[in-house]
A and B are shown apart, each in its own frame.
Chain A
Amino acid sequence: MKRVYVNEQWCLGCHLCEYNCAFANTGKKDMASALMNIKIRPNIRVEDDGKVCFAVSCRHCDEPFCVTNCITGALTKVGGVITIDRNKCVGCYTCVLSCPYGCVTPTEQGVMQKCELCTTNGGTPKCVLGCPNNAIVFEER
């Protein structure tokens, strides 16, 4: 099963993955107009303390606490990919309580969003496609 894996030694801390993720999930054609003057809410987030940096996105865990703990049944894992049905989600944050990596975050509407490996955005995750230094890759390991 292909996943987004991190090559921490190659991360430049450029945050391009965050912008490419946010852009991909707007569904718009032009990045500049899509992201102009908005606070982006990417499903991949760079941790950076000035010395170390790396990007973190959903691990699609073998034991997915976000799914087992979800009180609505909005989070499901099918074919190895954990997705969220935003129509069912009520924004209770039990998934935020549950995710060991901090990878479920609220949308502007207050329900939850997460990385779905760009399964509805054409396949290969856009964060990986736009990474200039192979610091994140989409492969089997």
Chain B
Amino acid sequence: MKYVIIGNSAAAVGAIEGIRALDKDGDIMVISNEGHHTYSRPLISYLLQGKTDRERMKYRTDSFYEDFNCRTLFGKTVIKLDKDKKAALLDDGEKIPYDKLLVATGSSPFVPPMEGLDTVSKRFSFMSLDDADSLEKALYPEARVLIVGAGLIGLKCAEGILARVGKITVIDLAPRILSSILDDEGAKIVQTHIEKQGIDFRLGVSAKSFSANKAELTSGETLEFDILVTAVGVRPNVGLVKDAGGEVDRGILVDENMQTTIPDVFAAGDCVVSCDLSCGLKRILAILPNAYIGGFNAGTAMSGGTPKPQKAMPMNAIGFFGLHIITAGSYEGEAFEMQDKENYKKLFYADDALKGFILIGDVDKAGIYTSLVREKTPLSGIDFASVCKEPSLIAFGRSFRDEKLGGKSYEN
């Protein structure tokens, strides 16, 4: 069996581990347009911050490809899929035949058309290790940095470089920061915390135009900067599948086996549409855990197995300057809210189930909430009032604990 994997990040690694759990001998070829050993993309801000380094940010050990008996083709780009001849065509003309193919091409930074953007000489995205390297070379202690986008990527970038530049201003079209994961109250707490570190925000505005080192905002204000980082959003890399005739919506469409509508072509990670179990909607869940598990499931299916249901949903753990944030699920239904200075909690519930939550500050045992959402645990069967105040296993009752902690089986 010839397996070909396009991509070398979390979904690709998941697929390799999934395939090898069932097929020890099949030929696995990993093709990546990046020249690096598999590394964790979310760690690029920690790299610039000095909290990790190139060795430690490797997502798997140095011997990973050898241990899992994979061949690699790095620094090569797949430009076309030939679904009839079952081959991937490389930019250098080589054709790589496959029996089962995984498209784990991830997503790319989306830079909306903005007037005069091409007049900015020091302009960066912040998605890949190469992006981080390019940005790092441009940093200097007096630099004024303008970051467009107050989402996860823009703000982690800000945290990562703050100590190495003179000034950071972050602008966003949304009226609040981290608008994809926080509500207004939560966003305010985190914004205040980040502002205390010396980062400025302009919210509810966008850049109307750029001219060399000046940005004119929709508010009329003009901001001067030395370095520009665009972190507005990402777009799934769907081109290979789309061009080969596979069905694509906002991302690549896959079934429960992670198979696209093209036979023997699978896809996983940031490039696919997932089913969000917390609300039932189809959406892109561009988060690392989803990529790994989707990739693992694809690998299982590619090697003839039946994957477990994925139970995908949004979930994020992120922190800024020591303030931790954990969120998961969907923010719909009734809400339970608690706030004490920087500690903020909001739980969303409907139809006898926890749908989602936001925790800021005190995030201890957050996974108990995540588990309630993922397993759709009926809230009528637990002491929900106590679990609202504090996540605990006491709220679950004795038989749950005898099974989970005492190892007793209730299968019969």
B271 within 8 A of A: no
CB distance from A14 to the nearest CB of B (A): 17
Contact B367 A56 (CB under 8 A): no
The one of B56, B315, B318, B402 that contacts A8, using a Cβ cutoff of 8 Å: B402
- Bound complex: CA of A98 vs CA of B368, how far in Å? 8
Given contacts A3-B407, A49-B394, A56-B405, whether A71 and B364 have CB atoms under 8 Å apart is: no
A69 within 8 A of B: yes
Contact A7 B289 (CB under 8 A): no
Near B by CB (< 8 A), chain A positions 94-118 give 94-102, 104-105, 110
CB distance from A132 to the nearest CB of B (A): 19
B371 within 8 A of A: yes
Near A by CB (< 8 A), chain B positions 388-408 give 391-394, 398, 401-402, 404-408
Given contacts A65-B367, A69-B288, A94-B289, whether A56 and B393 have CB atoms under 8 Å apart is: yes
Residue among A72, A87, A101 with max Cβ neighbours from chain B (10 Å)? A72
B292 within 8 A of A: yes
The one of B319, B386, B408 that contacts A91, using a Cβ cutoff of 8 Å: B319
CB distance from B327 to the nearest CB of A (A): 8
Contact A100 B43 (CB under 8 A): no
The one of B58, B322, B398 that contacts A73, using a Cβ cutoff of 8 Å: B58
Contact A141 B407 (CB under 8 A): yes
In the complex, what residues of A have CB within 8 A of residue B86's CB?
A: none
Contact A5 B57 (CB under 8 A): no
In the complex, what residues of B have CB within 8 A of residue A91's CB?
A: 51, 319
B275 within 8 A of A: no
Near A by CB (< 8 A), chain B positions 1-28 give 14
A28 within 8 A of B: no
Contact A68 B367 (CB under 8 A): no
Looking at chain A's contact residues, is the secondary structure mostly helix, strand, loop, or mixed?
Answer: loop
Given contacts A3-B407, A69-B288, whether A100 and B319 have CB atoms under 8 Å apart is: no
A6 within 8 A of B: yes
Contact B368 A102 (CB under 8 A): yes
Using a Cβ–Cβ cut-off of 8 Å, how many residues does chain B contribute to the interface with A? 49
CB distance from A78 to the nearest CB of B (A): 12
B162 within 8 A of A: no
A129 within 8 A of B: no
In the complex, what residues of A have CB within 8 A of residue B266's CB?
A: none
Contact A68 B401 (CB under 8 A): no
A92 within 8 A of B: yes
Contact A90 B288 (CB under 8 A): no
Contact A92 B318 (CB under 8 A): yes
The one of A54, A90, A95, A101 that contacts B51, using a Cβ cutoff of 8 Å: A90
- Bound complex: CA of A57 vs CA of B60, how far in Å? 26
B317 within 8 A of A: yes
Contact B368 A52 (CB under 8 A): no
Contact A71 B367 (CB under 8 A): no
Near A by CB (< 8 A), chain B positions 266-311 give 288-289, 292-293, 296, 308
The one of A49, A63, A72 that contacts B40, using a Cβ cutoff of 8 Å: A72
Contact B56 A92 (CB under 8 A): no
Contact A92 B319 (CB under 8 A): yes
Please name 26 pairs of A and B residues whose Cβ atoms are closer than 8 Å in the assembled complex, sorted by A: A5-B407, A8-B401, A52-B398, A56-B393, A68-B289, A68-B293, A69-B289, A71-B42, A71-B43, A72-B57, A72-B59, A87-B56, A88-B56, A90-B51, A90-B52, A91-B319, A94-B289, A96-B363, A97-B326, A97-B366, A97-B370, A100-B371, A102-B364, A102-B365, A102-B391, A104-B367
Q: Give B residues with C-beta under 8 Å from A.
A: 14, 40, 42-43, 46, 51-52, 56-61, 288-289, 292-293, 296, 308, 315-319, 322, 324, 326, 328, 363-368, 370-371, 386, 391-394, 398, 401-402, 404-408
Question: A54-B393, A54-B401, A71-B43 provided; 11 other pairs, C-beta below 8 A?
Answer: A5-B406, A68-B289, A69-B293, A73-B60, A92-B318, A96-B317, A96-B364, A100-B371, A102-B364, A102-B365, A102-B368
The 10 A-B residue pairs with the shortest CB-CB distance, nearest first, are A102-B365, A100-B371, A69-B289, A141-B407, A99-B367, A6-B405, A93-B317, A97-B317, A94-B317, A73-B59
